């Protein structure tokens, strides 16, 4: 277990002045220690509950390193936008670099970076691979390198992201003043991974107890979860509320049911148009909407301090996700409630989804071979995912491994397909141009739709240059370009063994499945057991054994029994009535009604037998 350190010290005049700039009078525990570690040039790790103020640590560090450009790596675009707007309001030169920027905005930002005009830059992890961004940063004097949601780097973390694996090597090749890593949820094992990856000394780790005394943790075993939820939300002290559902369809159905019961609820999920999500979020933040029924797409990076309750209508699947999501309640310090509704069928569905999330060995092998082309080629990640029927993190993990092993290089990023439409008569567009451009544009006019690789061949240039030229022609305002299917231009370097690579990754996914099942069972034991939920959470994350909180379901002695799954006779359609599947895992997902890239591409969600065995377990099928 890590040794405790002094979390707050006497405040310097500069720290006091800077706190006032950020509208604060004092540091919260741990903030000052992390700030001083970073300013002294020491890498540090902050493990702090949701709402404790992780962002203040790195924002102040960036502000107190004049003349330097600091980077914040985050997967949360909503967080980027909100924090950039806030910091610009304080007068800081803060910006974001992500896929939503217009070309003109991107060019202006890169120019400002080269000139040292950016104090704090928020980037998505995949953006760090952008050549133009790397070139601009090469001219800048660098401040702190901040890794938000740092648990994503660990295979043992609850939301591992392959693109985070590249971060330690990426930042080690650049002269950053210090590295600051932050997470709200890290077990001792994940903590050790983070310290090893970013070379963080034990004395520069700050870990704040996850216990939030103002959150009253309640668990209810209910056969009729909807009735229980309606009764709970009709208590005015429980709103504003966030209700978490497992799927997009589930969030919409639950929101509709709540509306029918007179609850002011709306669904929120990543499949909605961006404008609608933004409006729903704004309405909820301004208390014009009492209840949001959301998937986990909502809440990350959204600061609403007066949420009075967070309800898990579907069982959370790990202590990490439960702590992070329930921690969005009561960030203002006032009393709040975390309610979990447990039902046997729902728990079984959660377990099925863990099994279904594991890609099978055949799919991984096909993806490995796809990413080891015999000759340079353009690879559509969508085509790979749907044809091999593997989730998007499989090609990302394979690419990371292949690049680090030197088997392939990625020498272009863009799209596989283009569609061009001239906005003026072609002779008007050609007027005044040189011979080479005229030849290119005449070819484009004759081939208005196709693959970008064909453009490169016809124009005698690389794939990367072809993508650049197509974008430049659009920026000139004379063509409308539409692109489809994000793609990579892969160049093989030395021979790689696809079978060995696939076997290694399959073993990693099997370990992941077992770890996910263990996490879920650990959480269910916490929630349904007779002990203190808060003490169990604290022990899970820190190894400490605190005294019981005295106000959770376990401490109050409220006996809980999870209703058993309703067992129905398993009656499956005749095999001749089912679609054809090449692998057993595809058939199981279809029968359970669990989507995969291949099933979605075949539109099998519309098949009359899709989900016909949803009440069964993965093992039964």
Q: Are 110 and 139 in contact (CB under 8 A)?
A: no
Exposed e or buried b per residue across 332-356, where buried means at least 16 C-beta atoms within 10 angstroms of its C-beta: eeeebbbbbbbbbebbbbbbbbbbb
More confident of the two residues 345 and 10: 345
Section 346-351 average pLDDT: 93
Mean pLDDT is lowest, of 44-58, 93-107, 570-584, for 93-107
Q: Where are the beta strands (DSSP E) in 394-500?
A: 408-422, 449-451, 479-492
Q: How confident is the model at residue 403 (pLDDT cuts 50, 70, 90)?
A: confident
The pLDDT assigned to 4 comes to: 43
Q: List the domains of the chain with CATH numbers.
A: 13-207 (3.40.50.300), 215-352 (3.40.50.300), 373-495 (no CATH), 567-621 (no CATH)
The pLDDT assigned to 7 comes to: 56
Token pair 């591992």 in the structure block, residue: 160
Report the run of H or E that residue 527 belongs to, with start and end. helix 498-528
Q: Give the pTM.
A: 0.86
Percent of residues, the chain, with pLDDT higher than 70: 96
Mean pLDDT is lowest, of 178-192, 254-268, 554-568, for 554-568
pLDDT value at 215 more than 70 = yes
pLDDT value at 1 more than 50 = no
Rounded Cα gap, residues 508 and 154, in angstroms: 12
């Amino acid at each position: 277990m890590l040794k405790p350190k002094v979390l707050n010290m006497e405040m310097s005049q500069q720290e006091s002045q800077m706190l006032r700039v950020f509208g604060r009078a004092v540091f919260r525990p741990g903030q000052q220690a992390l700030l001083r570690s970073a300013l002294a040039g020491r890498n540090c790790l902050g493990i702090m509950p949701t709402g404790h103020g992780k962002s203040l640590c790195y924002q102040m560090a960036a502000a107190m390193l004049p003349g330097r450009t600091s980077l914040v790596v985050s997967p949360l675009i909503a967080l980027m936008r909100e924090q950039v707007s806030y910091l610009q309001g304080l007068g800081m030169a803060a910006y974001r670099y992500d896929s939503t920027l217009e070309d003109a905005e991107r060019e202006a930002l890169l120019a400002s970076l080269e000139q040292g005009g950016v104090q704090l830059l928020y980037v998505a992890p995949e953006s760090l691979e952008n050549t133009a961004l790397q070139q601009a940063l090469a001219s800048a004097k660098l401040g702190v390198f901040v890794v938000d949601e740092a648990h994503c780097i660990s295979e043992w973390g609850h939301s591992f992201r392959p693109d985070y694996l590249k971060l330690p090597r990426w930042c080690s090749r650049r002269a950053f003043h210090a590295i600051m890593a932050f997470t709200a949820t890290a077990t001792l094992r994940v903590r050790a991974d983070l310290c090893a990856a970013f070379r963080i000394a034990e004395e520069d780790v700050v870990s704040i107890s996850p216990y939030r005394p103002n959150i009253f943790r309640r668990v209810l075993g209910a056969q009729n979860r909807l009735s229980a939820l309606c009764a709970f939300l009709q208590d005015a002290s429980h709103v504003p509320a966030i209700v978490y559902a497992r799927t997009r369809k589930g969030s919409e159905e639950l929101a509709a049911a709540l509306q029918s019961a007179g609850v002011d609820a709306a669904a929120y999920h990543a499949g909605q148009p961006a404008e609608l999500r933004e409006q729903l979020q704004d309405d909820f933040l301004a208390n014009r909407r009492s209840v949001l029924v959301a998937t986990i797409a909502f809440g990350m990076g959204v600061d609403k301090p007066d949420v009075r309750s967070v309800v898990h209508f579907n069982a959370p699947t790990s202590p990490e996700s439960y702590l992070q999501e329930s921690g969005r309640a009561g960030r203002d310090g006032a009393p709040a409630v975390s309610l979990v509704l447990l039902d046997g069928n729902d728990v079984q569905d959660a377990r099925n989804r863990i099994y279904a999330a594991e890609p099978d060995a055949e799919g991984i092998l096909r993806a490995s071979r796809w990413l080891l082309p015999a000759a340079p080629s353009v690879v559509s990640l969508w085509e790979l995912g749907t044809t091999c029927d593997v989730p998007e993190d499989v090609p990302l993990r394979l690419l990371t491994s292949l690049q680090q092993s030197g088997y392939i290089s990625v020498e272009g990023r863009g799209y596989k397909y283009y569609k061009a439409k001239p906005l003026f008569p072609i002779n008007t567009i050609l007027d005044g141009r040189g011979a080479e451009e005229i030849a290119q544009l005449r070819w484009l006019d004759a081939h208005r739709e196709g693959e970008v690789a064909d453009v490169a061949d016809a124009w005698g240039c690389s794939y990367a240059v072809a993508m650049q030229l197509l974008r430049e022609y659009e920026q000139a305002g004379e063509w409308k370009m539409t692109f489809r299917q994000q793609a990579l231009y892969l160049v093989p370097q030395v021979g790689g063994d696809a079978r060995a690579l696939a076997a290694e990754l399959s073993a990693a996914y099997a370990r992941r499945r077992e770890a996910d099942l263990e996490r879920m069972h650990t959480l269910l034991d916490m929630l349904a057991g007779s002990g203190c939920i808060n003490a169990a959470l604290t022990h899970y994350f820190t190894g400490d054994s605190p005294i019981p909180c005295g106000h959770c379901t376990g401490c109050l002695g409220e006996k809980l029994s999870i209703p058993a799954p309703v067992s129905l006779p398993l009656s499956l359609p005749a095999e001749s009535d089912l679609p054809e599947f090449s692998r057993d895992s595809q058939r199981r997902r279809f029968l359970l009604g669990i989507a995969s890239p291949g099933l979605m591409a075949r539109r099998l969600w519309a098949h009359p037998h899709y989900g016909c065995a949803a009440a069964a377990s993965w093992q039964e099928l």
